[in-house]
Structure 1
Amino acid sequence: MANPFDKAQELAQELQESEEFTNLKQLHEEVNNDEVAKKMLDNFRQLQMELQQKQMQGEQISEEEVQQAQKQFEVVQQHEQIMKLMEEEQKMSQLVSEINKIITEPLEALYGVEENQEG
């Protein structure tokens, strides 16, 4: 019988060897090696995180905060490497999301069937 942990390790290795991961890693290193780009991205992500935390705590985000976030995003958009990095992050996120969907299909099917039988 196959061990799910072994398969997960194999999948992790496959991800690390994928073109998506390789591109993401290279862009990540390029941005981190550029002091200006790194600071711009860090500031943008810090603001994003602060706003997300406020939302999760049910706090209202002010118009000023929305405008500040928009301005920072516009600044980040001007930097080609940051935008490439964000695009690759999006691709990797989508890939992981699709893999997660495949992995959880048996559980969804199991609970979906049980719910239908009860109804």
Structure 2
Amino acid sequence: MPANLYEYAYMLEKGIRNSGEFATLKQAYENVQANSGAKALFDHFRHLQLKLQEKQVQGLPITEEEAKQAQASMAAAQANPAIVQLINAEQRLSAVLNEINKILVKPIEELYAGK
């Protein structure tokens, strides 16, 4: 039995790495990386996404031109089957992680609810 919460967290990390959802994501990512066209589209899309997220965190406005670039990049990425497969795999893993997060915060929610 783990002695502290960090040990449980590392066990959970190992479980995630060994999950089918992560294996599917990893394979989809490797497929994108192996395809130069898909890789270029994905890298561009990811760069724009991170740039816009950083601006939002800083409270800076996103320009109309940046929004148009992001939409065009997303449309190009969604037209590529390898990237679509990657995005779908990422969404499936994200859904699992969201469910895990609900489980993790359940003790706090129950405490505050008086249970």
TM-score range, shorter chain: 0.7 to 0.9
Aligned residues with identical type, % of pairs: 41
2:49 counterpart of 1:48: yes
Q: Which structure 1 residue ranges, 5 or more long, are not aligned?
A: 115-119
SS in 1 for 2:62: coil
Scaled by the length of structure 1, the TM-score of the pair is 0.83
For 2:27 and 2:87, locate their aligned partners in 1 and report how far apart those are by CA, in whole Å: 12
**How many angstroms does 1:2 deviate by?**
5.0
Identify which range, 62-71 or 5-14, moves more after superposition: 5-14
Q: Which structure 2 residue ranges, 5 or more long, are not aligned?
A: none
For 1:43 and 1:37, locate their aligned partners in 2 and report how far apart those are by CA, in whole Å: 10
The corresponding residue for 1:20 is 21
For 1:6 and 1:82, locate their aligned partners in 2 and report how far apart those are by CA, in whole Å: 35
2:56 counterpart of 1:70: no
Identify which range, 6-15 or 88-97, moves more after superposition: 6-15
SS in 2 for 1:113: coil
**How many angstroms does 1:5 deviate by?**
3.6
Scaled by the length of structure 2, the TM-score of the pair is 0.86
Judging changes above 3 Å, is the alpha-carbon distance between structure 1 residues 58 and 6 closer, same or farther for their aligned structure 2 residues? closer
For 2:41 and 2:61, locate their aligned partners in 1 and report how far apart those are by CA, in whole Å: 25
Residue pairs, 1:26-105, within 5 angstroms: 26-105=27-106
Q: In the TM superposition, what whole-angstrom CA distance separates every residue of 1:46-84 from its partner, at most 9, and x where no partner exists?
A: 111111121222222121111111111111111101011
SS in 1 for 2:100: helix
SS in 1 for 2:114: helix
**How many angstroms does 1:113 deviate by?**
3.0
Identify which range, 67-76 or 104-113, moves more after superposition: 104-113
Greater C-alpha Rg? 1
For 1:7 and 1:29, locate their aligned partners in 2 and report how far apart those are by CA, in whole Å: 29
RMSD: 2.0
Q: In the comparison of the two structures, how many residue pairs are matched?
A: 114
